[in-house]
Amino acid sequence: MTTGTFEDTPRAARTPGDDLVVAGVSKRFGGVPALTDVSLTVRAGTVHALIGENGAGKSTLGKIVSGVLTPDEGSVRLGGVELALRSPRDALARGIVTIAQELAIVPGLTVAENVYLGVEAHRGGFVRRREARRRFAELAERVGFHLSPDWLAGQLTTADQQKVEIMRALSRDASIVIMDEPTAALAEHETAALHAIIRSLAREGKSVILVSHFLSEVLALADEITTLRDGRVIRSVAAADATEETLIEGMLGRSLGAAFPEKTPPPSDAEVVLSVEGLVAPGVRDCSLEVRRGEIVGIAGLVGAGRSELARAIFRDARAQRGTVRLDGADLSARGPHHSIERGLAFIPESRKEMGLLVGRSVKENVSLARLDLVSRLGWVSGARERRAVAALLERTTVKTASLRLPVSMLSGGNQQKILFARAVMCGPRVLIADEPTRGVDVGSKRAIYDLIAEMAREGMGVVVISSELEEVLGLAHRVLVMRQGRIAAALEGAAMNQQAVLAAAFSESSDHQGVR
């Protein structure tokens, strides 16, 4: 990984004339305000963080600055000149690029083609592939991401697709870079490399607008932090004058209290509801585990360790070559996801956009689609029964929406994630597997999801939580299984369940062994 050149780059002199000034910007969707009279200044050569709960208006503001949306009132000025942006291409022409939270990869193109999409090197009407590959190699070395230019983007993991998005933005050599949750899918060492790049961009005199739910990341990187709540600016402060506690209080309008709910261990004689023995599947090597009634089992490990692959193999969304999966003693091995749902196994995938939601369909349809049989009669869906069932589930999972008919794409990331939990609850599962249950979710919504998971376990459901956030796994789980290279390398519980032990098992080859409880 080559990052030393960034640390040695001197900070460019700040030119106030290059500041980005947002003045009195308001935006409404169907009469509902998303932003109200928002004003802030992003100084040249600084990292300016935007924080707030999901639905606070952060992404909407970013889309206005990047030309995706136009404001209903107010203006955006760069270097004293008002911007009239009608598209992201207009923004790119003014030196503004965005790394969006929702990935915009073209699956059928290679990594290199995605990185240079729209700005390919041409000669005589033909793409200069050798030149593109040389530029790609230089950029990959610069950012420290090890991706082949010839890999198909659609076959990459979510984390690697995020790297392609980051490389695409950095290849534009823009003066303003908007980063919306850029590290959500990255491993720790990749996050550190991106942090070095962000600091180097500021030293070069560029402006970085950082949207992140990781408050420690915000405090470490930002020069200034603007807090949004309900579409309004609450305050803008120097990062040096802020703490995680003050930021949370600004976001929520109250203190958060404990980060995780109190753990309620399952009874010592609780029955086993999920049993996996000798499971072999793509990315999974001879894994065995058990989950008891009322137990939360966490699965930790590095990105690429096989955590998501194990979840999909258990759910029967990926074909297993060998091994058995039993739910309440019934064998699921030869069946697919539909049978798993019918038997009482629910699954929340790691990417809500790619694998979880039909973003163009309504809230109601997204919740009920997994179990339409529960709201149907003689093969016909009863609209009244469906509305009653969905409304009750939304109330339980604290989803905020103006209408059941609203497209899911119009909801905040936190509410989209809770839609997946509402769908899972509708299935009436005995076991829930939640892969990255709070990815891209603000601190307030995180606590609501944590409370829901703990409540499900107290009601007797077995829960498997997979997360890249080690604190999340340790804060929720009664036991933790650590994966490495497709295997369960360690099973930890009690006093042995700590960050040091998890990291040791994730990195150490000597820790390879199977934990079956």
- The predicted pLDDT at position 288 comes to 96
Write out pLDDT tens, residues 444-458.
Answer: 788 889 999 999 999
Per-residue pLDDT at 75 exceeds 90: yes
- Give the pLDDT band of residue 126 (cuts 50, 70, 90): very low
Per DSSP bridges, beta strands 345-348 and 376-377 are unpaired
At residue 428, φ and ψ (nearest 5 deg) are 60, 50
Among 230, 147, 217, 224, CA closest to 183: 217
* Angle formed at CA 503 by CA 497 and CA 507, multiple of 5 degrees: 135
Positions of CATH 3.40.50.300 in the chain: 4-252, 272-511
For 249, counting Cβ atoms within 10 Å of its Cβ (0-12 exposed, 13-18 middle, 19+ buried), the class is middle
Q: Which two tokens stand for residue 252?
A: 């929520």
The model's pLDDT over 213-253, given as tens digits with 9 standing for 90+, comes to 888 899 999 999 999 998 999 999 999 999 988 998 888 78
Q: Tell whether domain 4-252 is in CATH 3.10.105.10.
A: no
Distances (CA, A) of 228 to 69, 88, 232, 287, 464: 18, 23, 5, 45, 33
Question: Phi and psi of 84, rounded to 5°?
Answer: -115, 80
Tokens at residue 54, please? 């999901």
3-state SS, residue 293: coil
The pLDDT of residue 255: 65
* CATH architecture under which domain 272-511 falls: 3-Layer(aba) Sandwich (3.40)
Both tokens of 287, joined, read: 């894994």
Determine the pLDDT at residue 517.
46
Task: Give whichever of 111-120, 276-285, 393-402 has the largest mean pLDDT.
Answer: 276-285
| pTM of the predicted model as reported, rounded to 2 decimal places | 0.64
Contact 447, 481 (CB under 8 A): no
Q: Tens digit of pLDDT for each residue in 109-120?
A: 888 888 888 665
Question: Token pair of 349, please?
Answer: 């995938």
The pLDDT tens digits of the residues spanning 197-210 come to 889 889 888 899 99
